[in-house]
A and B are shown apart, each in its own frame.
Chain A
Amino acid sequence: MTERTRQPGQSTEPDVTKVDLDGGVYSSRAEPRADVGMVTDFALGADSTALAYESGLELKARSQWAYIRRRFLRHRLAMGSLFVLIGVILTSVFASHITSYTYTEIDFNLILKGPTTAGHHWFGTDFLGRDYFTRVLFGIRTSIRVAVIVALLSTSLGTVIGALAGYFGGWIDNLLMRFTDLVLTLPLLAVLLVAANKFGGGNPYRVALILALLFWTGIARVVRGVFLSLREKEYVEAAKAAGAGDPRIIFRHILPNAMGPIIVNMTLTVANAILIEAALSFLGFGIKPPTPALGSLISDGQNEMQTAWWLVVFPGIAIMILVLCINFIGDGLRDALDPTQRRVRA
């Protein structure tokens, strides 16, 4: 990546130089760090580089992304969630190999039976006697597809719009924000009703696109706020003075500071998107039966809480796990991306 330039006025005489076992370089002079083992001060590294060359040591120049990656990998909760999430996704992808039933297999003799080991109906059965474990697994697959697309699309869209509005200000900001206001005033259900009418069908990608076009407004305003306050910062001025272009300033300097709220917002969107899907089926725009989706599984079983609790509990747990994992991963990402973060282990 970038070359570290020497800061004017810095001393070139450190006391001791140590080579980090991982290949990083740090100095044990002056300020002993609490988080031993991690280099977070790039400025110090600058003249240590010079020193290392002088003493003939091998130097591995690490990129900023390498540090970010390392910090992420050390975030236990994030890594754990990543594994769980991958596990859940793999399970749902290979669902047909795991379960002995298909999700359309109807059995009128086993209607609304509770969870049991008999016949491997671990999650019980639904109104038509179908194995609920299978339906939940396939439901995860469908819901993830739609929800992740919605979350990624809407977050990207919102971030871009917010960044542009906050960074450039002026009439761009005005126009974009009035547009945001407009989208915010449109009631979700009315728009979906129209979409259902015009486009029909239950194509999950179309649904995801339309939802994304409505969900981006919250994150846009937050990102705009961050950009508005940070574009006056000194390091932005410094970067400009050094000749950095706008895109670089936006992406390298200001955007990482907005990652926190962005990621929180993304996880909230995932959860929302999954549950909105249930409302869509009421308008004829949802995922077509018999394909299950977590949101519609919950809404179908919602009234039977006292008699058939498993209809809502298991998809609900699935949603919770998904949201939890994504959010902890998000936590890890945010911590990893924040260069001023002191404690990184979780």
Chain B
Amino acid sequence: MLTYIVRRLLYAIPVLAVSSFLIFVFVSTTTDPLEAIKMNPRASRHSIQLVERKHHLDKPVIERYGYWVRDVFTRQFGTTILTDRPIFPDIRRVLGNTIQLVIAAELLTLLLAIGIGVYSAIRQYSVFDYAATTLSFLGLAIPTFWLGLIFQIIFVNVFVNWHVRIFYVAGLSSINPGHGLHFYMDRVQHLVLPVLTLAIIGIAGYSRFMRASMLEVVNADYVRTARAKGLVERRVILKHAFRNALIPLMTLAAIDFGTFFGGAVITETVFGLDGMGLYFINSLNAGETYNIMAWLLITATMVVIFNLVADVILGFLDPRIRLD
């Protein structure tokens, strides 16, 4: 198992290299950070050239990629093209914010989705199952921003009519959040709604998946055997069926978790959260290639690592699988 993990980590390097090269070429050839300036008839052509030369914008793509690789190792991801802002402090900040949001949402999602999915499967075609199914599809069909917006409207109306602020509808913190406990309570109050938004949609998807997976298992031979042996139904479900049904969901969750570090763009936009998703969108619109590359390195690394985690889970929990 250890050699497998080490080998996989080594394979990650060419994957990251190819991925970073592709995205660098994609972004640098299709966006132009100086686009807005060039549209201004009063902008100084000379200054534009200065910036272009300083950031090698006039060189061929391969050479620019080389400069970027050098900057990753020697200058901590480098600086932005416009105004030479160091990238690393910004990305560290947004990553931290996204992690708070995403971990909370994922935990909530998994807890509830597993519960609902398992119960739906055990009581297939019951009222609970139908209700959960319909609500799941509602959750799947509702666009994220809509859900977020509804939450915002509800709690803003609560504030306007009853003058009580239960949850904040935007931002990460208030203007004067204070320190210590007060700061954390303030942060929680700000994050509840975005976490709920993400969780509801996550639960909609995962519970369906859990249900499907559980149904596969519940009809399997070994479960039938366990029942035939005379085991209590509850034990059959929990000890034999549930654990095996959990495996596909865990691998899916592990893979998804890898992608979460890229941020939840829509949720962050609706709730005004300073996270990785918004950082990516703003950088893409501004044509800031280095920002996007930094973002990409982090997310790609996370994706690769969690894919590995998913495979390890699969190999570990399912004794039928040989990882070689």
Contacts and interface: CB of A to CB of B under 8 A. Distances in A.
Taking the complex as a whole, does A directly touch B, i.e. does some CB pair lie under 8 Å apart? yes
A53 B140 CA distance: 53
B141 A320 contact: yes
Contacts of B189: none
Given A185-B299, A197-B30, A305 B146 contact: yes
A221 B299 CA distance: 19
A144 B18 CA distance: 34
Contacts of B259: 184
Nearest to B138: A320
A12 interface: no
A316 B142 contact: yes
Interface string A160-174: 000000000110001
Interface string A217-251: 01001100110111011000000000000000000
Interface string A311-330: 01000100110011001100
Nearest to B18: A182
B141 A181 contact: no
Contact of A191 (B26, B205, B220): B26
A340 interface: yes
B324 A184 contact: no
A305 B149 contact: yes
Main secondary structure of the interface of A (DSSP, over half): helix
A185 B141 contact: no
Interface in B201-218: 205, 208-209, 212-213, 215-216
B248 A225 contact: yes
A341 B125 CA distance: 13
Contact of A184 (B11, B146, B248, B255): B255
Q: Which of A226, A228, A342 has the most CB of B within 10 A?
A: A228
Given A189-B284, A324-B134, A316 B212 contact: no
B309 to A, nearest CB: 12
Closest 4 pairs between A and B when the two form their complex, measured CB to CB: A320-B141, A185-B300, A260-B212, A194-B26
Interface of B: 11-12, 14-16, 18-19, 22-23, 26-27, 29-31, 124-125, 133-134, 137-138, 140-143, 145-146, 149-150, 153, 205, 208-209, 212-213, 215-216, 219-221, 247-248, 251-252, 255, 258-259, 262, 280-281, 284, 292, 296, 299-300, 303-304, 307, 310-311, 314, 318, 320-322, 324
Interface of A: 169-170, 174, 177-178, 180-182, 184-187, 189-191, 193-194, 197, 218, 221-222, 225-226, 228-230, 232-233, 257, 260-261, 263-264, 267-268, 271, 275, 278, 298-299, 302, 305-306, 312, 316, 319-320, 323-324, 327-328, 334, 338, 340-343, 346
Given A222-B248, A323-B140, A324-B137, 19 more contacts: A178-B14, A184-B255, A185-B304, A186-B22, A191-B26, A221-B255, A225-B247, A226-B248, A228-B314, A230-B320, A263-B212, A268-B208, A298-B143, A302-B149, A312-B146, A319-B141, A324-B141, A338-B219, A340-B219
